[in-house]
Amino acid sequence: MKSAGRMGIRYMQKLHASNVPKELVEKGQNRVIEASLTLIRERAKLKGELVRALGGAEASTSLLGVPLGHNSSFLQGPAFAPPRIREAMWCGSTNSTTEEGKELDDPRILTDVGDVPVQELRDAGVDDDRLMSIISESVKLVMEENPLRPLVLGGDHSISYPVVRAVSEKLGGPIDILHLDAHPDIYDAFEGNKYSHASSFARIMEGGYARRLLQVGIRSINKEGREQGKRFGVEQYEMRTFSQDRQFLENLKLGEGVKGVYISVDVDCMDPAFAPGVSHIEPGGLSFRDVLNILHNLQADVVGADVVEFNPQRDTVDGMTAMVAAKLVRELTAKISK
């Protein structure tokens, strides 16, 4: 993925070196951006119209893929995750019913508006400032089609910033966030990259998009991570004290007094015994059932969510982590849709 991204950058450098007028380049980029947003807009309209015509849905989950991996500090494989998650969801090895009894083949429960064409945008020379805005705008296009609510398939964790920003701005105020992860992802600018997957929650908190941020499953945190947590008033629950915190975390009530609750699940929140297909393997994590207990028992109006950092290039031959990520998506769908 880094090489593919560099190809797009080199292409733009060649254009500049050939003295192609800047205005001409920008016009081309704008056409690619508009085409990208038009695709998401029209698919969201189609799915929204279908859900409204069927009736009876107060909130309906809609999948949006963001195959972005270049802001990862180690491996870029998460860019390949959205199609693998979808494949696992519908592979036929299990039925389409969630644990709480919701039927995923009912479009009032789940629809899919496709992917933001990240690589095509980068190939056109779109930089990260504009790319993050395009991701935010894509999320807002989904939310405009009431009762659709976004469940975003990453991608690395950098995508959470533009997604949360969009959800907060569209709803008109801050939200509460439940963040499950081995890492706090709250560096100010990891390796000098303000959009690093290790800095997404710093951007969210400094932007005022979250009132309350709970981070669960943390077991790889340094001095800066703790200092940033204190700076932003983050509630960090580390795995070393999980046995003491379990009862509280499995009975959370969030979102009172704000616009709703957003859930961000980094697949590496789980112990690698359950999810080996991640870029940053950190032993000593949550079990899959720990994660489901937290999600199932959460009392909240969930207005959006993401599942990030699944790396198909590190998965087992039989796609074990893809199935884990797919089930997370299924159970989050059940939590959002009503």
Any known ligand binding at 318? Answer: no
The H or E element containing residue 82 is: helix 81-89
Burial of 31 (0-12, 13-18, 19+ CB in 10 A): exposed
User: Alpha-carbon distance 13 to 131, whole Å?
Assistant: 18
CA distances, 323 to each of 179, 286, 327, 331 (Å): 21, 17, 6, 12
Any known ligand binding at 197? Answer: no
Any known ligand binding at 268? Answer: yes
User: Alpha-carbon distance 304 to 164, whole Å?
Assistant: 8
Any known ligand binding at 157? Answer: yes
Q: Which one-letter amino acid corresponds to residue 94? A: T
User: Alpha-carbon distance 92 to 217, whole Å?
Assistant: 31
User: Alpha-carbon distance 23 to 189, whole Å?
Assistant: 31
Any known ligand binding at 185? Answer: yes
Which residues line the annotated binding site?
157, 181, 183, 185, 266, 268
Binding residues for Mn(2+), as ranges, are 157, 181, 183, 185, 266, 268
